[in-house]
Amino acid sequence: MGRLKESDPLFELVLKWILSSEWDMTLTLREALQRCEALIASHIHNPEGSELSRKCPGIGKFFMELPLTRALDYLGQKVAVEQRRYVPPTFSEVRQIFNIAQVYALKSRAKLMTFDADDTLYEHGMDLEPGSWLVDALLTLMETGIYVAVVTAAGYPGKPDRYAARFRGLLERMQEKKTPSSVTRMFFCVGGECNYLFRINDEYTMEQVDSDAFYTDAMKSWKQEDIAKLLDVAEAALKDSCARMRLDVQFLRKARAVGCYPTRAEDRIAYEALEDVALAVQDKLMHYSQGKDVIPFCAFNGNRDVWVDVGDKRYGIEALLHFLNIAGEATCHMGDRFTLTGNDKSSRAVANTVWVTNPSETEEYLELFLRDAGDEKCVRCADSRPKGPKQGTVEWHKAQIIQNNTSA
């Protein structure tokens, strides 16, 4: 059966300890987090036979211990989660605690920060605008010596201008500040999950990096005929699933991807329908792959569409780490798709991760990271983040109307 937007075995384990008597324990949130801290520390030293791996089969790798109780203290300043008597902690709150703990743990360690694009840096299908605070935050990271990369499913092979348009706000700010090449060289974009690498050139636009310089040996071994066969199976599975669900979609085949999206731009397909299509395609491709040395793939629900890509973000981040000679423990990937049909989930194998649900959360965690860094430039950038909608905007006027109606 499919699992929808809120699904993670470790977060659910914490909630089980609080909400049930399973394993003869019913703990407070703080006690559950203390227990989890200890399990993670033990798992780092002995991942194969750890207690955590028994309670959460397939839990994967942790690169560093997480200060979960310290993160709870921080969240408690905003949300009195420990003081509630009748409403237990939620999945979202546990997710936020793990995110905050990961941000704290990265202090003085981070050398590379990678980000999903849609629904992480900007709203789905939009671009990174010049007025976004995230432009300043990303630029500050680079100016303090931290590499920044966008790792996205969007694949535009041989079309660096398409990526330049998506990151227009950042490129314009760099040009405006006459940012030196020592800083612009700190930015990369990995497109098509792992298939293309782009960087900024001296004209403050994007250029593609030769694949031979970027691909790992494993990626270089992928044969074009095998890629074509994989995408043939994926395309047929997509069409069968969409027909079964009676979805009004169109299909697009690219060199290393195939996907479907609404025929009309104004239409929105139900999340559950997209989830079913993604799971059906995953199942078909896994059966196709059995007993074969086939190309790795990523079939995912993009919230408005479903895509199948050659490779996945694990390969993309791994190749970038090798290209930059950086270790996974010094890397953090922020994204919004960490469920069974999400394309950020695979990044957990090669990097620390932060699971966000929208660009506002990305801003929150970057503000916390910059403030915790202690560097004067970082703190100044953190202080500059706007709180709430900007006065005069549509969102600001809506908030005023709601407040007036509520207090009347």
pLDDT, one tens digit per residue, over 150-187 is 999 999 999 999 999 999 999 999 999 999 999 999 99
* pLDDT surpassing 60 at residue 248: yes
pLDDT tens per residue, range 118-158: 999 999 889 999 989 999 999 999 999 999 999 999 999 99
Average pLDDT, integer, range 230-252: 97
Average pLDDT, integer, range 204-233: 96
Catalytic residue selected from 8, 24, 73, 116: 116
Average pLDDT, integer, range 362-378: 96
Residues of the chain with CATH 3.40.50.1000: 112-219+312-383
Q: What angle do CA 333, 93, 134 make, to 5 degrees?
A: 40
* pLDDT surpassing 70 at residue 390: no
Average pLDDT, integer, range 38-52: 93
CATH number of 221-310: 3.30.450, 3.40.1710, 3.30.1240, 2.60.40? Answer: 3.30.1240
Predicted local confidence at residue 5, as pLDDT = 65
Orientation of helix 376-383 relative to helix 133-143, angle to 10°: 180
Orientation of helix 91-105 relative to helix 68-78, angle to 10°: 120
Average pLDDT, integer, range 290-309: 91
Predicted local confidence at residue 1, as pLDDT = 43
Average pLDDT, integer, range 23-33: 80
Pair type for strands 331-335 and 352-355:
parallel
Catalytic residue selected from 8, 118, 305, 344: 118
Query: Any idea which residue has 């789905």 for tokens?
Result: 124
Q: Are 317 and 351 in contact (CB under 8 A)?
A: yes
* pLDDT surpassing 60 at residue 21: no
Pick from 300, 301, 306, 231: which is nearest to 261 by CA?
306
The CATH class that applies to domain 112-219+312-383 reads alpha beta
Residues of the chain with CATH 3.30.1240: 221-310
Pick from 158, 198, 166, 200: which is nearest to 182 by CA?
200
- Catalytic residue status for 116: yes
- Cα–Cα dist 253/261, whole Å: 12
pLDDT band for position 60 (cuts 50, 70, 90): confident
Pick from 65, 54, 68, 114: which is nearest to 335 by CA?
114
Q: Are 68 and 30 in contact (CB under 8 A)?
A: no
* pLDDT surpassing 60 at residue 301: yes
pLDDT band for position 387 (cuts 50, 70, 90): confident
Q: What angle do CA 28, 31, 37 make, to 5 degrees?
A: 140
Average pLDDT, integer, range 8-36: 84
- Catalytic residue status for 240: no
* pLDDT surpassing 70 at residue 256: yes
pTM (predicted TM-score): 0.92
